[in-house]
Amino acid sequence: VAKVIADSLSYEVLCLLRDHGPLSRAELADRLAIPRARLLGELTRLAGAGRVIEAGPAASRGGRRSTLIELDAQLRLGAVDLGATSVRVEVVNGRLEMIDAVEEPIDVRLGPRPVLGRIGEMLGKLAAQGSHTRLDGIGLGLPGPVRFEAGVPVSPPLMPGWDGFGVRELLAHEQGCPVVVDNDVNIMAIGEGYSGVARSVPDFLFVKLGTGIGCGVHLVGEVHRGKDGSAGDIGHIQVEPTGPVCACGNVGCLEAVFGGAALARDALAAARTGRSPWLARRLVEIGAVDARHVGEAAAAGDPTAMALIRDGGRRLGTVLAGLVSFANPSMIVIGGGLAQLGHRLLAEVRAAVYGRSLPLATGNLPIVLSELGDRAGVIGAAKLASDVVFRQA
């Protein structure tokens, strides 16, 4: 029992220093509500383990001056946000502040060994640029369900060859540090809850609108992952019984009707048939149109593009209304590439959610865009990595 208490105390000390920066010994003892002597023993141990350092005298609070404690400046975490077509790799310090970053296109369908090998090279490149000499831990988000405890992807539809692959084991072996693996939407939710628009909001839903659609279910201060890691996989909820066939093999999934891939398909059809003169012109000019152009066309007043966003937003909103009734969140955050459709989309989603949910659940329910944008994922991955490293301190 004593060991457990000691472990959780060092974890709490390190989290306080991560979240608040340097704190005096007196402040730490107050916040943790423990005797000074006990704290001093713990700090000595953490200093010996290379986790904290003394940072000079604290401003006096009257009486004896206290010493400032901060996280060791050499602490380094790797944070990786792997998408279906791109990967962002950051190295951050113990306070999760970015030291250096690199982002490049990647095809996740190449399989785990080539893709993880490339991530290793990117970390090596950052090391060569001086970001770190060694990593204390790594957090990695993958575009599919992950069995969290094992660090293993489970039947990810977009990732052939990854099912059951020991991602955490391989990366931990190659980088020589603890590794934590989670779903990409979950890490975005964790990032947004840590330092984005949902910070200090314990119950919220984070909706990622990218090529596909997923939802981070953040309840009671934690991401809810479900038994196999597929909680929040809302892209495959049926919204159109006679609708288009989805990549998953079912018919009329939300993702098959609205989402980056679906919108690109609809944009192309609208351009080819001339239903949207704006998109047709664009298709002639650059040879292709996608979801991004739907946003531009709508901003230019193109009625067909506006209708695509309106219909998609309504369908998404209808699904979210069901989730609101189920989970009673205090906020919905919308992020991912399609979030750039912005306020037009937001207005539709709001109308559908507020119109369909019971007033008690939506009386004070902000539906807002992500604040962290494309950094939400890496911040969440870094937060997860720090939790693992601090628990082992």
Smallest gap from Cβ 278 to Zn ion, in A, equals 30
Site map (CB under 5 A) of Zn ion, residues 187-226, x = contact: ----------------------------------------
Smallest gap from Cβ 237 to Zn ion, in A, equals 9
Number of residues that bind Zn ion (CB under 5 A): 5
**Subset of 106-135 contacting Zn ion (CB under 5 A):** none
Q: Which of the stretches 157-165, 170-178, 245-253, 358-366 binds Zn ion when contact is defined by CB under 5 A?
A: 245-253
Q: Return d(Cα 43, Cα 25) in angstroms, integer.
A: 9
Q: SS3 sequence, the chain? A: CHHHHHHHHHHHHHHHHHHHCCEEHHHHHHHHCCCHHHHHHHHHHHHHCCCEEEEEECCCCCCCCCEEEEECCCCCEEEEEECCCEEEEEEECCCCCEEEEEEEECCHHHCHHHHHHHHHHHHHHHHHCCCCCCCCEEEEEECCCEECCCCEECCCCCCCCCCCCCHHHHHHHHHCCCEEEEEHHHHHHHHHHHHCCCCCCCCEEEEEECCCEEEEEEECCEECCCCCCCCCCHHHCECCCCCCECCCCCECEHHHHCCHHHHHHHHHHHHHCCCCHHHHHHHHHHCCCCHHHHHHHHHCCCHHHHHHHHHHHHHHHHHHHHHHHHHCCCCEEEECHHHHHHHHHHHHHHHHHHHHCCHHHHCCCCEEECCCHHHHHHHHHHHHHHHHHHHCC
Q: Which of the stretches 11-19, 157-165, 208-216, 229-237 binds Zn ion when contact is defined by CB under 5 A?
A: 229-237
Q: Which is nearer to Zn ion, 8 or 155 (by Cβ)?
A: 155
Regarding 253 and contact with Zn ion (CB under 5 A), the answer is yes
Report the amino acid identity of residue 366.
Answer: P
Q: Return d(Cα 17, Cα 334) in angstroms, integer.
A: 30
Q: Cα dihedral sign for 322, 355, 376, 155? A: positive
Q: Which is nearer to Zn ion, 46 or 253 (by Cβ)?
A: 253
Regarding 251 and contact with Zn ion (CB under 5 A), the answer is no
Q: Which is nearer to Zn ion, 251 or 299 (by Cβ)?
A: 251
CA distances from 391 to 7, 141, 267 (A): 7, 20, 49
Q: Which is nearer to Zn ion, 9 or 262 (by Cβ)?
A: 262
- Please pick, from the candidates 205, 209, 213, 246, the single residue that binds Zn ion as defined by CB under 5 A: 246
Regarding 248 and contact with Zn ion (CB under 5 A), the answer is yes
Regarding 254 and contact with Zn ion (CB under 5 A), the answer is no
Smallest gap from Cβ 219 to Zn ion, in A, equals 24
Q: Which of the stretches 140-148, 248-256, 294-302, 335-343 binds Zn ion when contact is defined by CB under 5 A?
A: 248-256
**Subset of 41-100 contacting Zn ion (CB under 5 A):** none
Smallest gap from Cβ 75 to Zn ion, in A, equals 41
Nearest to 253 by CA among 236, 276, 265: 236
Smallest gap from Cβ 209 to Zn ion, in A, equals 15
Q: Which is nearer to Zn ion, 88 or 208 (by Cβ)?
A: 208
Regarding 261 and contact with Zn ion (CB under 5 A), the answer is no
Smallest gap from Cβ 234 to Zn ion, in A, equals 10
Regarding 236 and contact with Zn ion (CB under 5 A), the answer is yes
Q: Which is nearer to Zn ion, 140 or 246 (by Cβ)?
A: 246
Smallest gap from Cβ 241 to Zn ion, in A, equals 13
Smallest gap from Cβ 54 to Zn ion, in A, equals 55
Q: Which is nearer to Zn ion, 246 or 283 (by Cβ)?
A: 246
Smallest gap from Cβ 235 to Zn ion, in A, equals 6
198: exposed, middle or buried (C-beta count within 10 Å: 0-12, 13-18, 19+)? Answer: buried
Q: Which of the stretches 171-179, 217-225, 252-260, 264-272 binds Zn ion when contact is defined by CB under 5 A?
A: 252-260
Smallest gap from Cβ 246 to Zn ion, in A, equals 3
Q: Which is nearer to Zn ion, 89 or 263 (by Cβ)?
A: 263
Nearest to 79 by CA among 151, 141, 121: 141
Q: Which is nearer to Zn ion, 78 or 260 (by Cβ)?
A: 260
Smallest gap from Cβ 326 to Zn ion, in A, equals 20
Binding site for Zn ion (CB under 5 A): 236, 246, 248, 250, 253
